[in-house]
Amino acid sequence: MSEATNEAILPGDHDVLIVVDVQNDFCPGGALAVPRGDEVVPLINRLAAAFRNVVLTQDWHPRGHLSFASSHPGKRAFETITVDYGPQVLWPDHCVQQTPGAEFHERLQIPHAGLVLRKGTDRLIDSYSAFYENDRKTPTGLVGYLRERGVTRVFLAGLAFDFCVRYSAEDASREGFAACMVEDACRGIDLNGSVDATRESLAALGIPCIAARDFIPQTAA
Ligand code: VGL
Ligand code: ZN
């Protein structure tokens, strides 16, 4: 939905790229595979190289996490239940701490990333957003980290477009950062229309969706 601009974006000191949950369990073959999730890896590597500030998020759940269908006898994955803080989608067990599924995709190469932010570590609260857990009250500390470092603009990429990337972008915007989705560097789960709902919500909040080519200087083709 973004206004097309002919000017390439050149990331500077006040910009950060947040690379959301590019982990084995969200890639084909993983426990909660996002269709074609692994396709974003080379693009994200190139994109990240253009940023001085990069934050990686890592979904990092203890066994028996409340978001796991297996923690709720009789419930199935992808059902929604009501928990203390409101609705919660139930997922297959995924990104369990210190398991191979929780590791970053092996071809993700971002050695200069300054922060790896683990989320979803509280057994009783899920966390889609990199900024606030799903109770919408418990902060992860990322707002403070970014503000202290003078960041004003947040670009987002990764998995899944319609869950963790979406909620991270929306919280970034609410916190007063200029948020921007790099849509072709994301892939979605698409549960009950969640991709369309995400596009509508982002548009309503004025959060643009751009493409990686808007940054990376194109070599003459
Ligand atoms: C995610 C569902 C559960 C995500 C994480 O990274 O989008 N989705 N946990
Ligand atoms: Zn999770």
Residue 37, CB-side half-sphere exposure with 13 Å CA sphere: 29
Give percent helix, percent strand, percent coil of the chain, each to the nearest 5: 25, 25, 50
Give residue ranges with CB within 6 A of ligand 1. 21, 26, 59, 91, 128, 159-160, 163-164
Calculate how far, in angstroms, residue 32's C-alpha sits from the geometric centre of ligand 1. 8
**Ordered DSSP codes for 62-85:** PTT-TTBGGGSTT--TT-EEEETT
Q: Whose CA is nearest to atom 1 of ligand 1?
A: 164
Give me the domains of the chain, ranges plus CATH numbers.
15-61+92-216 (3.40.50.850)
Q: What is the per-residue pLDDT for 4? A: 52
Q: What is the per-residue pLDDT for 7? A: 77
Q: What is the per-residue pLDDT for 219? A: 56
Residue 149 buriedness (CB in 10 A; 0-12 / 13-18 / 19+): middle
Phi-psi region of 136 (alpha: psi -120 to 50; beta: other; left: phi over 0): left
Tokens of 26: 């969200």
**Mind listing the pLDDT tens digit of every residue in the chain (221 residues)?**
445 556 789 999 999 999 999 999 999 999 999 999 999 999 999 999 999 999 999 999 999 999 999 999 999 999 999 999 999 999 999 999 999 999 999 999 999 999 999 999 999 999 999 999 999 999 999 999 999 999 999 999 999 999 999 999 999 999 999 999 999 999 999 999 999 999 999 999 999 999 999 986 755 54
Cβ < 5 A residues, ion ligand 2 = 59, 120
Q: What is the per-residue pLDDT for 80? A: 97
Predicted TM-score (pTM) of the model is 0.95
